[in-house]
Amino acid sequence: MTQYLAEPSTETEPSSPAERPGWWRDAVIYQVYPRSFADSDGDGVGDLQGIRSRLPYLRDLGVDAVWLSPFYASPQADGGYDVADYRAVDPVFGTLLDADELIREAHGLGLRVIVDVVPNHCSDQHDWFQRALREGTGSPLRDRFHFRPGRGPAGQDPPNDWESIFGGPAWTRTENPDGSPGEWYLHLFAPQQPDFNWESPAVRDEFRSVLRYWLDMGIDGFRIDVAHGLVKAAGLPDMGRAGQLHLLGTQALPFFDQDGVHEIYRSWRGILDEYPGERIGVAEAWTPSAQRTANYLRADELHQAFNFHYLGAGWDADALRRAVDECLDAMRPVGAPSTWVLSNHDVVRHATRLAADGPEQGLRRARAAALLMLALPGSAYLYQGEELGLPEVTDLPDEVRQDPSFFRDNGQDGLRDGCRVPIPWEGTEAPYGFGPVAGGPSWLPQPDSWRDLSVEAQSGDPESTLELYRSALALRREHPALGAGDRVEWLQAPDGVLAFRRTARGPGDGRAHGELVCAVNLTGAPVRWTVPGRPLLSSGGSLPPGEAAELPAETTVWWAV
């Protein structure tokens, strides 16, 4: 298929992530979705011991940190984003001791550990919510959630017109202890995920304590789920229109990105800063603009936020360039690093998302997109399996699906299981090393074709996507111009080609001591190109030596200058 050149520069020693101040500014952070990463006990569901056993793989891949999606006690109505006990590990994932061992062992390997915190809502099985239900209308425990009487003569209509992200109304009616219809409660996601009321001091105190609990366990930061949702507009006003899901991340909404959330993050920052070693907060914040996102990253708030505008830019040179510029320009005034992400557990994997013309093209573009992302200044998020070039699984039978929005109408597409299929590690029989026994179970079935995409199958094959990621991450550690800084210098390039120079400057004298050029040919045809330096890495197609060359179609190349 393709050949690439890897000739790492040896100008600077890679620094140990454990010792580096500002480690998070250019960190590559690898998302583990625990259910689907590695299953140590053979029950078909991934677990903490499984993750632990694969930590050396992550170290060798060359990432700086691991972000673990929730592994807390949960009925799993939303893959663990419905937390029943924020201080306990769900038995399906293991024990607190396993979590402790995992954190220690990761640190021993030079990997940081970021955990999810889910403060917008809990599980309907959470003790507070169960007690609030039992105690009935008027219980002070109901102040910790949004309980309201219904509208209409018999209270039969929801208190306002808000819609759940997963479809249907954002309200569910309760039953009184005597069996009669009672108040309604708000849930922006599934009915099993009641929203907390962040006006309640008890809620604020509880989360400060939960943060400390995990910080004391040694974690290096939090990914904050639905960080933009905690505070709702006073009086919970109607939206006045349907189809609210389509406005997410594009317009001001009474339940998202309210200015009141920032006070919460200022208080959280105080807690993070009490601990040594730069513990970080990463916002999952869907806001209408990069500027609104930057508000979460002011010096006394959080450290990073996901860049969903970049994820949504697709395979389009102008849109990508705009997304890069907008993010860098918005982050510079607040001094926060930009972040870049192509896939996560909520979206169609980019090897499929970017494919207009079949899986081969999808993989070619995905490889090019990865090298583009890893050449940008700031921090990059990888989603487990993208380093294997895994595609979305689009033909899961309905009976195995678990995404809660699949079961509700007019919500998020409901197809998030297709990016959560367990990882193929080795062997020739499913679950391909995901579980301990060949032929054993996996909670979602893996396609037969994944045998050839396993870690084992790709390791040592210089043309594989896994080796491309390994080379790129090794170069990123060794080459000072990658990751650092907050600028790209765009170069003149033909239509459909993005090219930029990255310059690393010394901290003392500000002098350039490393330059790199990255060019992405987004078009479907090779483009004439003057070689700017020594080729380091190409996502596809070998580069002939000499001054003039052809940049292959849908390919990214890095050169040291």
Q: How far apart are CA 541 and CA 424, in angstroms?
A: 26
Among positions 185, 189, 315, 383, the unique one binding ligand GLC when judged by CB under 6 A: 189
In the complex, the smallest distance separating the C-beta of residue 82 from ligand GLC, rounded to whole angstroms, is 7
Catalytic residue among 274, 325, 461, 489: 274
Q: How far is the CB of 344 from ligand GLC (least distance, A)?
A: 7
Nearer to ligand GLC, 88 or 248 (CB): 248
Mark whether 225 is an active-site residue: yes
Q: Are 90 and 55 in contact (CB under 8 A)?
A: no
DSSP result, 140-199? GGGGGBTEEPPBSTTS-B-SS--B-TTSSBSEEEEE-TTSSEEEEEE-SS-TTSPBB-TT
Bond into 480 cis (ω within 30): no
User: What b-and-e string marks burial along 95-104, b requiring 16 or more CB atoms within 10 Å of the CB?
Assistant: eeebbeebbe
172 class by beta-carbon count within 10 Å (0-12 exposed, 13-18 middle, 19+ buried) = middle
Q: Is 301 in the site for ligand GLC (CB under 6 A)?
A: no
Q: Which is nearer to ligand GLC, 129 or 315 (CB)?
A: 129
Contact assessment for residue 300 and residue 340, using Cβ atoms and an 8 Å cutoff: no
Minimum separation from the CB atom of position 494 to ligand GLC (A): 38
DSSP line for 481-510: TSS-SS--EE----TTEEEEEEEEE-TTT-
Closest separation in Å from C-beta 394 to ligand GLC = 19
Interaction between residue 336 and ligand GLC (CB under 6 A): no
Q: Strand pairing of 147-148 and 181-186?
A: antiparallel
226 binds ligand GLC per the rule CB under 6 A:
yes
CB of residue 284 to ligand GLC, shortest distance in Å:
6
- Mark 53-82 with x for binding to ligand GLC (rule: CB under 6 A) and - for no binding: -------------------------x--x-
Site string for ligand GLC, 115-144 (x = CB under 6 A): ---x--------------------------
Q: How far is the CB of 188 from ligand GLC (least distance, A)?
A: 8
Segment 345-404, which members bind ligand GLC (CB under 6 A)?
Answer: 345-346
Q: Are 262 and 296 in contact (CB under 8 A)?
A: yes
Tell me the closest approach of the beta carbon of residue 118 to ligand GLC, in angstroms: 6
Decide: is 225 part of the binding site for ligand GLC (CB under 6 A). Answer: yes
**Least distance from ligand GLC to the Cβ atom of residue 362, Å:** 23
Beta bridge partners of 489: 501
Q: Counting Cβ atoms within 10 Å, is residue 179 exposed (0-12), middle (13-18) or buried (19+)?
A: exposed
* Token pair in block for residue 206: 């509880």
Nearest of 106, 77, 78, 75 to residue 92 by alpha carbon: 75
Which of 81, 500 has the CB closer to ligand GLC? 81
Identify the CA nearest to 347 among candidates 248, 256, 220: 248
For ligand GLC, the closer of residues 417 and 554 by Cβ is 417
Please tell me the distance from the alpha carbon of residue 81 to that of residue 61, in angstroms, as a whole number.
Answer: 28
Of 32 and 482, nearer to ligand GLC (C-beta) is 32
* 186 near ligand GLC, rule: CB under 6 A: no
Chain position whose Cβ is nearest to ligand GLC: 81
Q: Which is nearer to ligand GLC, 39 or 225 (CB)?
A: 225
Q: Shortest Cβ distance from residue 117 to ligand GLC (Å)?
A: 11
Matching residue, tokens 């730069």: 278
Taking the least distance from each CB to ligand GLC, the nearer of 347 and 531 is 347
* Catalytic one of 64, 116, 195, 225: 225
Q: In terms of CB distance, is 105 or 346 closer to ligand GLC?
A: 346
Known active-site residue 13: no
How many amino acids of this chain bind ligand GLC (CB under 6 A)? 9
In the block, tokens 């929801």 appear at 158
Smaller CB distance to ligand GLC: residue 227 or 430?
A: 227
Packing angle of the helix pair 359-375, 465-478 (nearest 10 deg): 10
Fill in the DSSP letter of residue 540.
Answer: S
Active-site residue list = 225, 274
Contacts with ligand GLC by CB under 6 A lie at 78, 81, 118, 189, 225-226, 284, 345-346
